[in-house]
Chains A and B, each alone.
Chain A
Amino acid sequence: METTRTLLHRCLTQVEGDTGLLEELLDMLPSCLEDLMASFRKAVVDHDATAAHEAAHSVKGMLANVGFFELAELAYEIEQLSKASRFSVALERMEELAEKTNATVTEVRKLLENMPCGC
């Protein structure tokens, strides 16, 4: 398990040190995730493996682009579960992923806010 500081460092690498952009992305992330969760939940209700897989795939790409690689790995597992039509497990994991993501966003943002200038 990586530390929040390591994670912040990676996130900053992804945005080439642009802290303003990182703040903006962290602000956007929960609502973007919620939109994709809604699509995912609907796909699960419809037993639509393709739509569930696509929603999980989008979550994975989004998390990875921000630098949340470990969370993206979880999204990849959900992608595979969706592909295999294992909807209930996939949904359970997705809810866990959402919680972890929101918690991680809060931690990273706090660290970012307290980061001394020039770091």
Chain B
Amino acid sequence: MRVLIAEDNVLTRRMLERTFERWGYELVSTPSGKEALDLLLGPDPPLIAVVDWMMGDLDGVTVCRRLRAERTEPYIYIILVTGRRSTADIVAGLEAGADDYIVKPFNPEELRVRVRAGERIVRLHQELVNAREKLRLQALTDPLTQIWNHKAILDRLDSEYERAQREGIELVVAMMDVDRFKQINDTYGHQVGDQVLVETAARIRDVLRPYDSVGRYGGEEFLVIVPCQNPADPADIGRRLWQRIRGTRYKLDGLHLRVTVSVGLSVWHASEDIPPPQLVQRADQALYYVKRNGRDNYMVYSHMAALPAPANAG
């Protein structure tokens, strides 16, 4: 674990450096309170800081106060080193955000156990943050396919829409539906149906770039969001998605299934005032068109007007 030592007295700093090195810590040290604060607020900060109370340019208490005000994560455990012994001073130091304090002259044994206590706190905090992040991801991820769930993909659409507005880029939305999925379930069972969905999600991801998004919109429906820096060709995106699914058979538990999808697409251009729900609705209408015209195809909403009215097939 990396430790920051902020101490303006060169002799005391050297003593702390050597002591911490002997204990096996990786060190960053500075004589300056300002530099200490910069390091603690910067990228990849040391997670334990041993900070002298009195330093010429910025005192340790101010370092604590500003760090707590400006950074909450990762949690940095601060030990104030002080010659002050009065209760009022100690209270002031702890209220400023220090986790612990040690009075000079510090006993190395005592300092070591206090630093170890700090390490335990830092590790516990890291575990909590990791667990929270895992829970957050679980809440956003579809457990079967491991892609975004319904709520998460709509949130992504909102944020991508805002970004597209800011940057003046285009946004393609594709709604995909696995054709005759009920028949797959009825014929091969729900476990195979689940595997079809997992494989479909994986194939969609194959087609997409890392910054595109895909989510499970409903049972066998997928929503895809593709931001486009250059003028978008939604038909090309639709064709690639459609082709990736139907191009090769799914190999599942000894079965070789031919799976197809219907894809409806809509596009948002920078100058248009079409909110995200309407983009989804348009993609859905295009999807509906494909389904009513025999499935296993793709269609862009804006191209539908030029086509004959759909047949009444279900």
Contact A15 B108 (CB under 8 A): yes
B70-88 vs A, CB cutoff 8 Å, 1 = contact: the mask equals 0000000000000100000
Residues in chain A near residue B54, CB distance under 8 A: 54, 57-58
What is the CA–CA distance of A40 and B199 in the complex, to the nearest angstrom?
A: 76
Residues in chain B near residue A72, CB distance under 8 A: 105
Q: How far is the CB of B90 from chain A (nearest CB, A)?
A: 16
What is the CA–CA distance of A79 and B19 in the complex, to the nearest angstrom?
A: 28
Is A16 interfacial (CB 8 A cutoff)? yes
Residues in chain B near residue A21, CB distance under 8 A: 15, 18-19
Is B14 interfacial (CB 8 A cutoff)? yes
Please list 24 pairs of residues, one from A and one from B, whose beta carbons are closer than 8 Å in the complex, sorted by A's number: A14-B105, A16-B19, A16-B108, A18-B18, A21-B19, A24-B14, A25-B14, A28-B10, A28-B14, A32-B10, A57-B83, A58-B8, A60-B83, A61-B83, A61-B104, A62-B9, A64-B104, A64-B105, A65-B11, A66-B11, A66-B15, A66-B105, A69-B105, A72-B105
Contact A16 B22 (CB under 8 A): yes
Q: How far is the CB of B105 from chain A (nearest CB, A)?
A: 3
Q: How far is the CB of B303 from chain A (nearest CB, A)?
A: 78
What is the CA–CA distance of A67 and B9 in the complex, to the nearest angstrom?
A: 15
Contact B10 A65 (CB under 8 A): no
What is the CA–CA distance of A78 and B267 in the complex, to the nearest angstrom?
A: 78
Residues in chain A near residue B188, CB distance under 8 A: none
Of residues 64 through 100 on chain A, the ones whose CB sits less than 8 Å from some CB of chain B are 64-67, 69, 72
B-side interface size class: 10 to 19
Is B12 interfacial (CB 8 A cutoff)? yes
Q: How far is the CB of A97 from chain B (nearest CB, A)?
A: 15
Is B25 interfacial (CB 8 A cutoff)? no
Contact B22 A18 (CB under 8 A): yes
Question: Which one of A13, A25, A57, A58 contacts B15 once the chains associate, using CB atoms below 8 Å?
Answer: A25
What is the CA–CA distance of A21 and B13 in the complex, to the nearest angstrom?
A: 12
In addition to A18-B22, A58-B8, 19 A-B residue pairs with Cβ atoms within 8 Å of each other are A14-B108, A15-B18, A15-B19, A15-B108, A21-B18, A21-B19, A24-B18, A28-B10, A28-B11, A28-B14, A54-B54, A57-B54, A60-B83, A61-B83, A64-B83, A65-B105, A65-B106, A66-B105, A69-B105
Residues in chain B near residue A7, CB distance under 8 A: none
Residue among A24, A60, A62 having the largest count of chain B Cβ atoms under 10 Å: A62
Contact A65 B18 (CB under 8 A): no
Contact A61 B9 (CB under 8 A): yes
Please tell me the number of chain A residues within 8 Å of chain B, measured between CB atoms.
Answer: 23
What is the CA–CA distance of A1 and B230 in the complex, to the nearest angstrom?
A: 84
Of residues 28 through 59 on chain A, the ones whose CB sits less than 8 Å from some CB of chain B are 28-29, 32, 54, 57-58
What is the CA–CA distance of A72 and B85 in the complex, to the nearest angstrom?
A: 15
Known: A15-B108, A57-B83, A61-B104. A32 touches B15 (CB 8 A): no
Of residues 228 through 250 on chain B, the ones whose CB sits less than 8 Å from some CB of chain A are none
Question: Which one of B11, B18, B107 contacts A32 once the chains associate, using CB atoms below 8 Å?
Answer: B11
| Chain A contact residues, CB within 8 Å of chain B | 13-16, 18, 21, 24-25, 28-29, 32, 54, 57-58, 60-62, 64-67, 69, 72
A-B pairs, 10 with minimum CB distance: A64-B105, A61-B104, A32-B11, A21-B18, A65-B105, A61-B83, A28-B11, A16-B108, A65-B12, A62-B11
Question: Which one of A13, A24, A58 contacts B9 once the chains associate, using CB atoms below 8 Å?
Answer: A58
Task: Return the chain A residue nearest B12 by Cβ.
Answer: A65
What is the CA–CA distance of A88 and B105 in the complex, to the nearest angstrom?
A: 28
What is the CA–CA distance of A36 and B180 in the complex, to the nearest angstrom?
A: 85
Contact A62 B22 (CB under 8 A): no
